[in-house]
Amino acid sequence: MAHRIQGVLSPVVTPFKRDLSPDPERYLRHCKWLLAHGCSGLAVFGTNSEANSLSVDERMLLLEALVQGGVPASKLMPGTGMCALTDTVRLTAHAVKLGCAGVLMLPPFYYKGVSDEGLYRSFAEVIERVGDARLQLYLYHIPPVAQVPISLALIGRLLKAYPGAVAGIKDSSGDWNNTKAVLDAYANSDFDVFAGSEVFLLDTMRAGGKGCITATGNVNPGPIHRVYENWQKPEADALQAGISATRAILQKYPMISALKAVVGHWGRDPDWATVRPPLVELTAGEQRSLVAELTAAGFDMPDLAAPAS
Amino acid sequence: MAHRIQGVLSPVVTPFKRDLSPDPERYLRHCKWLLAHGCSGLAVFGTNSEANSLSVDERMLLLEALVQGGVPASKLMPGTGMCALTDTVRLTAHAVKLGCAGVLMLPPFYYKGVSDEGLYRSFAEVIERVGDARLQLYLYHIPPVAQVPISLALIGRLLKAYPGAVAGIKDSSGDWNNTKAVLDAYANSDFDVFAGSEVFLLDTMRAGGKGCITATGNVNPGPIHRVYENWQKPEADALQAGISATRAILQKYPMISALKAVVGHWGRDPDWATVRPPLVELTAGEQRSLVAELTAAGFDMPDLAAPAS
């Protein structure tokens, strides 16, 4: 499985026009910037992409726009997990057909307190219905938002039943003990573990993981990538401290709106700030203080204001 | 607003064929049985309908099947609140065009900890985009599942901005203090409050509410309706005690699977038990003990096994 995607992936923020429709042009530009500046892959349609504020058709159109616009499908790991089985199957089959490297799959997240048996059936049904040997499924564990966790036992059962399809996990629990437990149990089973935040990137690499899929990859991909490529070198801890410090600044604000404000500021394109309800953009004051703090810390997004192609 | 729907509404359970596709024929039959046996309306596509396991297209086809099959649209209050703004608008506009009495709208429920401002914008945007004076919007407050509450302040702001469209609320918080606070604040503002469980039906009627929208309305509509029509009579408390006792039995089991098992048993149609993942059906043992307990308590679903039309 040497061809599997590894390194730093960004859950790409989704630009909206003023009428709240998705903006494929700004989207393509940002995706190309990310790939040119440290991201080895794009986890489009993640939590930080406002993916769950998009319809199935909106996601499919955006994904096609990326591939047609020259983003290699081999770099793409779109989020395809929806509440409805039929939606998840439709999105997943579409991504596989386009040749995407993998899909990042939320569990169905409306019903709470569901059993591992029910979640197993959900994932199994999707794999069976998609029925394509190219499917590389990454489980998306994000209990603070989805409120539906993916347990160690569930991972084991899925890996045993579908060893070719179940490729890895993004752990966005924010709990290093959980990431460590997954790594200890399955890192030697052809199962690729990605930290859900760059704060855990170095620890994840040292414990046998494959990288991180992180919100701030949208704005700070270069420095995060340097931790990834130098994790075995003496300077790794200092590099890690640097990216954790940048994240600490961003985390003081609502993350998605903050990321969009930063892209808008460094790209000199303030319309980037637009979010879909139920999110709200940063206030002018919040944006000013965020930019001031980042600037004081030496943060930059090189080449962003110039067209990427 | 005398024409507004009142009384006992059932969030109709959605039957699936063995291949997990929705079954319009069983669905129509159950809807007609409910209307003939105590329900004054049908809150199709509620939580207990596994609505969030259905795609937008699946919901639209089922709704059309009901109306074409002879269920009056004036009895229908479909759930139309999705995570994605565009999906909610599409479903809501479709329901209004079909002439539905109202829609029951979840807030967008993926992102947690969102602000009242963001939720206000969500509902406002839907109302504006649907742009139809016939829209009667019922807010769906179900924090134990959606994890996104609808605050008193948000209700007030929406009522002020859209007094003709914002028609009421279903309170499924399970917290009588919250229902009472909503009733005290808005029951005199042309705002219809429905309890989310028949356990609170009598209290809700006495405090100025308009009825209940309750899971167990699927199996026990007659006795629940008798509480509704007799709430001012001396026997009301005894009637309430009876329906609360029936609910207590059902609540020992996972509710949706239990309702389907009961419909399947009393309708002599065991295929009704099928649920979509992530839910799982009751075990044979659970089903036996549930049926035994209900039977011992004198429970019945009259005329269910005979065709309704």
pLDDT beyond 70 at A309? no
pLDDT beyond 90 at A306? no
Summarize pLDDT for B168-209 with one digit per residue, the tens.
999 999 999 999 999 999 999 999 999 999 999 999 999 999
pLDDT beyond 70 at A1? no
Which of B16, B56, B86, B150 has the most A C-beta neighbours within 10 Å, making it the best mutation to test the interface with A?
A: B86
Average pLDDT rounded to a whole number, residues A197-212: 98
* Confidence label for A274 from pLDDT (cuts 50, 70 and 90): very high
Q: What is the CATH number of domain A7-233?
A: 3.20.20.70
User: Above pLDDT 70, what percent of chain A?
Assistant: 98
* Confidence label for A296 from pLDDT (cuts 50, 70 and 90): very high
Query: What average pLDDT does chain B have?
Result: 97
Q: In chain B, which residue's Cα lies nearest the Cα of A119?
A: B278
A137: phi then psi, degrees, rounded to nearest 5: -105, 120
| DSSP track, A26-83 | HHHHHHHHHHHTT-SEE--SSGGGTGGGS-HHHHHHHHHHHHHTT--GGGB--B---S
pLDDT beyond 60 at A224? yes
Average pLDDT rounded to a whole number, residues A241-253: 98
A60 token code pair:
């499919």
CA–CA dist A58, A87 (Å, integer): 12
Question: What pLDDT is recorded for position A3?
Answer: 77
Summarize pLDDT for A132-176 with one digit per residue, the tens.
999 999 999 999 999 999 999 999 999 999 999 999 999 999 999
pLDDT beyond 60 at A206? yes
Cα dihedral angle (A274, A276, A277, A278), rounded to 10 degrees?
-100
Answer yes or no: do B55 and A280 touch at CB < 8 A. Answer: no
What sign for the dihedral angle of Cα A203, A209, A213, A219?
positive
A220 token code pair:
């700070």
Give B84's contacts in chain A (Cβ within 8 Å).
Answer: 52-55, 58
Average pLDDT rounded to a whole number, residues B63-81: 98
CB burial string B131-143: b at 16+ within 10 A, e below: eeeebbbbbbbbb
A283 in reach of chain B (CB within 8 A): no
- On whether the CB atoms of residues A111 and A71 are closer than 8 A, the answer is no
Regarding the domain with residue range B7-219, which homologous superfamily does it belong to in the CATH classification?
Aldolase class I (3.20.20.70)
Question: What pLDDT is recorded for position A107?
Answer: 98
Query: What is the model's pTM?
Result: 0.97
Chain B closest-CA separation from residue A98 CA (Å) = 22
Of B194, B117, B189, the residue nearest B160 (C-alpha):
B189
Q: In chain B, which residue's Cα lies nearest the Cα of A147?
A: B147
Answer yes or no: do B115 and A144 touch at CB < 8 A. Answer: no
Question: What pLDDT is recorded for position B3?
Answer: 77
- On whether the CB atoms of residues A280 and A258 are closer than 8 A, the answer is no
Q: In chain B, which residue's Cα lies nearest the Cα of A87?
A: B55
- On whether the CB atoms of residues B40 and B2 are closer than 8 A, the answer is no
Summarize pLDDT for A78-100 with one digit per residue, the tens.
999 999 999 999 999 999 999 99
CA–CA dist A245, A241 (Å, integer): 6
Looking at residue B222, the DSSP 8-state letter turns out to be H
* Confidence label for B1 from pLDDT (cuts 50, 70 and 90): very low
User: Above pLDDT 70, what percent of chain B?
Assistant: 98
Question: What pLDDT is recorded for position B306?
Answer: 65
A251 in reach of chain B (CB within 8 A): no
Question: What pLDDT is recorded for position B16?
Answer: 98
- On whether the CB atoms of residues B128 and B89 are closer than 8 A, the answer is no
**Chain A contacts in chain B segment 38-77 (CB below 8 A):** 47, 52-56, 58
Answer yes or no: do A52 and B276 touch at CB < 8 A. Answer: no
Summarize pLDDT for B199-247 with one digit per residue, the tens.
999 999 999 999 999 999 999 999 999 999 999 999 999 999 999 999 9
Regarding an ipTM greater than 0.90, the answer is yes
Chain B closest-CA separation from residue A56 CA (Å) = 9
A108 in reach of chain B (CB within 8 A): yes
Residues 6+ apart with CB under 8 A from A70: A28, A32, A309
Q: Where are the alpha helices (DSSP H) in B102-231?
A: 116-130, 143-146, 152-161, 176-186, 201-206, 221-229
Query: What average pLDDT does chain A have?
Result: 97
pLDDT beyond 70 at A260? yes
Looking at residue B105, the DSSP 8-state letter turns out to be E
Is the bond into A278 cis (omega within 30 degrees of 0)?
yes
CA–CA dist A89, A227 (Å, integer): 36
pLDDT beyond 60 at B308? no
Summarize pLDDT for A11-62 with one digit per residue, the tens.
999 999 999 999 999 999 999 999 999 999 999 999 999 999 999 999 999 9
| H-run or E-run covering A88 | helix A85-97
Residues 6+ apart with CB under 8 A from B287: B261, B265, B273
Chain A closest-CA separation from residue B261 CA (Å) = 17
